[in-house]
């Protein structure tokens, strides 16, 4: 798999405090990569290092195939913490100002505002903007220069439900229609789950886990887990395949398996017992997304 960003045992120490402790993440091309963690977990520090706003204390990272090179950041857009916009300027004036500041070639600023859903706000002073409109303008500024990779720190914080929805749809469009790769930090799991294709969980400056959306969906999908006595697993597999031919299942151990469909546990138990399979345990598996992340954070050994 190709990665747009890899960090290699990235660390950051402030005095006696370790903020990042040997973190190695891998952001695939074409992805929306979600950073999950509590406040103070190290998410913002990681983003600031990649954006060149803070120096790492140990080892390195590879961005767009290059190691720690400032020049490659011309292909990087960022919105870290709150948008740095000038409220006495209009949206278009802000975009023109930052284009000059960054030394960028002339760009269709009206098109940028259209991309972020602010095409009707170009001549309005930023002081009159709602929080959501300011976030949109901040993202538009981060898109100056057509970056391949966009890094956003808590872009939906403080937004009302309509604003959250609009920002999410805008980011989906940037990724799917314009091919922009996005790293997004958020503690709003329900929204991140609707958006991200890959995840990293960070806690106390350590990487707890890194996984794809497919892995998450699989872990949280509804289904039934069956445990049988030693020597009965093969018989259980054969019977389940004959009774439920379209049901996907996974062998968890030499005594247990999980079926990824809503099946009546009582019916399954009766069927197995009638066919001489000795069942030790059987129960529904229906973990929600929030419980999955909380369990990871509460249990977590660093990887």
> Domain map of the chain by residue range?
3-213, 223-285
Question: Is pLDDT of 103 > 70?
Answer: yes
Q: What is the pLDDT of residue 69?
A: 64
- Six token digits for residue 36: 């999950």
Give CA–CA dist 158/190, Å, rounded: 15
**pTM, whole model, 2 decimals?**
0.77
Q: Calculate mean pLDDT across residues 227-231.
A: 93
Q: What is the pLDDT of residue 299?
A: 66
Kindly report, residue by residue over 130-182, the tens digit of the pLDDT: 888 888 899 899 999 888 899 999 888 777 888 888 888 889 988 998 889 99
The pLDDT > 70 percentage for the chain reads: 95
Give CA–CA dist 8/176, Å, rounded: 28
Kindly report, residue by residue over 231-265, the tens digit of the pLDDT: 999 999 999 999 998 888 889 899 999 887 778 88
Question: Is pLDDT of 286 > 70?
Answer: no
Instruction: Choose between 89 and 106: higher pLDDT.
Output: 89
- Six token digits for residue 292: 């999955």
- Say which DSSP state 29 is in: T
Distances (CA, A) of 20 to 2, 39, 152, 218: 24, 14, 19, 29
- Six token digits for residue 218: 């699989």
Q: What is the pLDDT of residue 206?
A: 94
- Six token digits for residue 258: 């999980």
Q: Calculate mean pLDDT across residues 96-120.
A: 86
The CATH number for 223-285, chosen from 3.30.2000, 3.30.70, 1.10.10, 3.30.750, is 3.30.70
Q: Calculate mean pLDDT across residues 14-35.
A: 93
Give CA–CA dist 36/280, Å, rounded: 37
User: Where does the pLDDT of residue 95 fall: very low under 50, low under 70, confident under 90, or very high at 90 and above?
Assistant: very high
Dihedrals φ, ψ of 91, to 5°? -60, -45
Question: Is pLDDT of 72 > 80?
Answer: no
Interacting residues of 222 by C-beta distance below 8 A, sequence separation 6+:
260, 261, 262, 284, 285, 286
Q: Calculate mean pLDDT across residues 108-128.
A: 87
Distances (CA, A) of 8 to 45, 78, 98, 118, 178: 15, 21, 32, 38, 29
Write down the mean pLDDT value for the chain: 87
Question: Is pLDDT of 300 > 70?
Answer: no
CATH number of 3-213: 3.40.50.300
Question: Do 3-213 and 223-285 show the same overall fold?
Answer: no
Question: Is pLDDT of 70 > 70?
Answer: no
Question: Is pLDDT of 218 > 80?
Answer: no
């Amino acid at each position: 798999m190709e990665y747009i960003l890899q960090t290699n045992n990235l660390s950051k120490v402030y005095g006696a405090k370790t903020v990042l402790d040997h973190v190695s993440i891998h952001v695939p091309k074409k992805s929306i990569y979600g950073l999950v963690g509590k406040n103070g977990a190290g998410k913002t520090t990681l983003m600031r290092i990649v954006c060149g706003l803070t120096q790492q204390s140990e080892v390195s990272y590879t961005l767009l195939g290059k190691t720690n090179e400032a020049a490659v950041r011309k292909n990087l857009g960022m919105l870290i913490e709150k948008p740095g916009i000038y409220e006495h300027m209009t949206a278009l004036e802000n975009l023109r100002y930052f284009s000059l500041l960054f030394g960028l070639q002339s760009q269709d600023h009206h098109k940028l505002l259209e991309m972020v859903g602010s095409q009707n706000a170009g001549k309005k002073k930023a002081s009159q903007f709602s929080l959501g409109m300011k976030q949109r303008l901040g993202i538009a500024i981060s898109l100056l220069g057509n970056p391949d990779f966009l890094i956003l720190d808590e872009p939906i914080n403080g937004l009302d439900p309509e604003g959250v929805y609009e920002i999410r749809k805008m980011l989906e469009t940037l990724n799917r229609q314009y091919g922009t790769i996005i790293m997004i930090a958020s503690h709003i799991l329900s929204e991140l789950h609707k958006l991200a294709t890959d995840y990293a969980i960070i806690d106390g400056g350590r990487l707890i886990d890194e996984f794809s959306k497919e892995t998450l969906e699989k872990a949280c999908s509804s289904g039934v887990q069956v445990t049988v006595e030693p020597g009965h697993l093969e018989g259980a597999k054969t019977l389940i395949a004959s009774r439920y031919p379209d049901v996907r299942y996974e062998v968890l151990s030499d005594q247990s398996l999980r079926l990824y469909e809503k099946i009546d546990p009582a019916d399954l138990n009766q069927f197995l017992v009638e066919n001489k399979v000795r069942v030790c345990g059987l129960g529904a598996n229906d973990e929600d997304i929030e419980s999955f992340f909380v369990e990871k954070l509460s249990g977590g050994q660093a990887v």
